[in-house]
Amino acid sequence: MISFKLNADAIELDEWGPPEELAAVTLEGKPIMYGIKLYNSGNGQILSGIYEVTKGKFKVIYPFHEHATVLSGKVTLTDKEGNSVTYGPGDSWFCHQGEVVTWDVKDRLRKTFFVVTVDQFGSIPPERIVQSVSRVVG
């Protein structure tokens, strides 16, 4: 078991570079990403850890399915239809692999992440992941 209970804000993170490292496009500012992988399935298809990003705005086509929970800071996520939701500490979201999302980070954001990358043959259906996450989250 990996616990985030003991002050996850104090965990030291490595610099991961600009959002372009995740095939994103920066729209405003000069955001820099930081993170640490706390679990890796070995083949890279399942990862879990802590991610942080500085102020800025960027658009990403999600390269994986992601469940995330905000630890500190705030972010507004906007989908390709223009629907926006602002998330703060304790809030969570789920994005599907291939989904287009614009991130607007007004200050430093830190979150936990659990990601699953599915190959082109869809070996793990997205609805199955959502069902599993729903059972765990309640």
Residue ranges of domains in the chain, CATH in brackets: 8-137 (2.60.120.10)
- Number of helices (H), then strands (E), belonging to the chain: the values are 1, 11
Q: Return the bridge partners of 68, or none.
A: 93, 113
- Distance between CA atoms of residues 49 and 23, nearest Å: 19
pLDDT in tens, 63-95: 899 999 999 999 999 999 999 999 999 999 999
Q: Is a pLDDT exceeding 60 seen at residue 36? A: yes
Q: Does residue 119 register a pLDDT over 70?
A: yes
